[in-house]
Amino acid sequence: MQKNLMTVVAVIAAAGFTSCNKEVDMFEPIGTEKATIDLNITNDNEMITRAEANVSDPSEWYIIVGSKAQIQVKDLSSQKYEAGTYSITVSNYANEAAAITANDAYYSGTNSNEELKKGSNSVTVACEKAKNCRVKADLAGLDGFAAITDAKLTVTQAEVSSRELNSTNAIGYFYAGSGKTINYQLDYKYNNVSKTAITGSILNPVAATEYQVKVVTNSNGTITLTVTYDTEFTTETAETITIDAATGERSTN
């Protein structure tokens, strides 16, 4: 079984908000100093496709401290809290639905029992791997076979609007988890005639996993569609579909 190793990039994004954090408000009575937070965010094994601003710039992330309303990290420096134990949650989008809508990876992490003392508190929240998954269409293998044209992969999920993946927009992000089936359909033309679409499904997709749908041709013009999955960026073949080059139809042999 062929395996390909993709580079794993770990991003450690630290945001220090120290303005006034170690000073007592001149209008607060002595002994009533509140707790403030200096926040550090780490996220590992992320599925990077570009320099996402909301990953590389933690000030654009979101944070919830205890029962307080969600705010962006850039507004954290102005917040003061009573000393005590809090649940602290950070994420690069307001919620996973927002990340899916933006067609992006979603990271979130929670410290369940973070003790905040009076004065400045250094808090680190580890987000680890992305909570969603993605599908990648690799149609570059058709470039040298002129008989196949207009190839596109349409990917759908019950909670997500259908996404058309092609050579210019090759990646789509989707929910991961049990029952979150992802369906895909490959449409193409053979000698300018539309052929029966090839369909398939990805059952119970796993978080932080890239599922690759790859179409290639061999020296005889045979077309092979391979569906692979990538866990920790190690790729294994999950399914192979072959199209007969002589007829353009899916081979049953």
CATH number of the domain within which 172 lies: 2.60.40
pTM for the model: 0.75
Asked if residue 117 is part of any domain, the answer here is yes
Arithmetic mean of pLDDT over the chain: 74
Give the chain's end-to-end CA distance (angstroms, integer).
20
Final residue belonging to a domain, choices 126, 144, 172: 126
* CA atoms lying within 13 Å on the CB side of residue 51: 2
Q: Is 79 exposed, middle or buried (0-12, 13-18, 19+ CB in 10 A)?
A: middle
Query: Quick one: DSSP state of residue 61?
Result: S
Asked if residue 167 is part of any domain, the answer here is yes
Query: Quick one: DSSP state of residue 50?
Result: S
Query: Quick one: DSSP state of residue 59?
Result: G
Asked if residue 45 is part of any domain, the answer here is yes
Specify whether 47 is located in the same domain as 150.
no
Final residue belonging to a domain, choices 95, 126, 157: 126
The domain of 209 spans 133-243
Give how far the C-alpha of residue 203 lies from the chain's centroid of Cα atoms, to the nearest Å.
18
Residue 118 structure tokens? 């009076």
Report the alpha-carbon distance of residue 117 to residue 7 in Å, rounded: 40
- Predicted confidence (pLDDT) per residue in 94-152, tens digit: 999 999 999 988 989 999 999 999 998 989 888 878 899 989 888 877 777 788 888 88
Residue 135 structure tokens? 């599908």
Specify whether 43 is located in the same domain as 117.
yes
Specify whether 110 is located in the same domain as 142.
no
Do the Cβ atoms of 199 and 191 come closer than 8 Å?
A: no
Identify the pLDDT of residue 97.
97
The arithmetic mean of pLDDT across residues 188-200, rounded, is 89
Final residue belonging to a domain, choices 126, 159, 177: 126
Identify the pLDDT of residue 180.
96
Specify whether 217 is located in the same domain as 238.
yes
Q: Is the pLDDT of residue 1 over 70?
A: no
- How many domains is the chain partitioned into structurally? 2
Identify the pLDDT of residue 71.
95
Q: What angle (nearest 5°) sits at the alpha carbon of residue 105, between those of residues 100 and 110? A: 100
Asked if residue 34 is part of any domain, the answer here is yes
Report the alpha-carbon distance of residue 39 to residue 163 in Å, rounded: 36
- Bridge partners (DSSP) of residue 183 are 156, 201
